[in-house]
Amino acid sequence: MNQQHQDERARIREATDRLLAGQATVSNGSLTVVALAAESGVHRMALLKRHADLKNKFYQRVRNETRQVPESEKRLRATVSKLKRTIANQKADIEELRQQVTRLALASAVLTQKKGGQAEMVPVSDNVIPFPKSKT
């Protein structure tokens, strides 16, 4: 590792300590990666790509020391619960549609069934075309 890389890592560690102590000097003091990047003076993408281990340690310390769930995890959990509700609603809709298909198929069978060897003639309106009679 080069000297710049070592300096960044040292600044990130110091910034982590300041944020967890509630003594932010540059950032807004929130316990997020954005605040950590601002506090350490390291670009956020560099923190996420080159120093992912320090980012993970930061979040681990946030959980352990403050007993708080990181904001990004809260958002993900909310999204997951919303998606689970959507899936449950879609499953209910699919089941209702399946039952409706079954009912419509039964109704169709009843309507096309012959009574006493002859199909019952039902008066139809002008815009309805009747099915041809089956020859079975």
Q: Provide the greatest CA pair distance for the chain.
A: 97
Mean pLDDT of 15-21: 90
Question: What's the residue count for the chain?
Answer: 136
Same domain for 89 and 44: no
Same domain for 61 and 40: yes
Same domain for 74 and 64: no
- Within-domain flag for 54: yes
The residue out of 13, 44, 68 marking a domain boundary is: 68
Tell me which residue range forms the domain holding 83.
70-102
Is the pLDDT reported for residue 94 higher than 80? Answer: yes
- Contact present, 19 and 47 (Cβ < 8 Å): no
How much is the pTM?
0.53
φ/ψ (deg, to 5) at 89: -65, -40
- Within-domain flag for 114: no
Total structural domains within the chain: 2
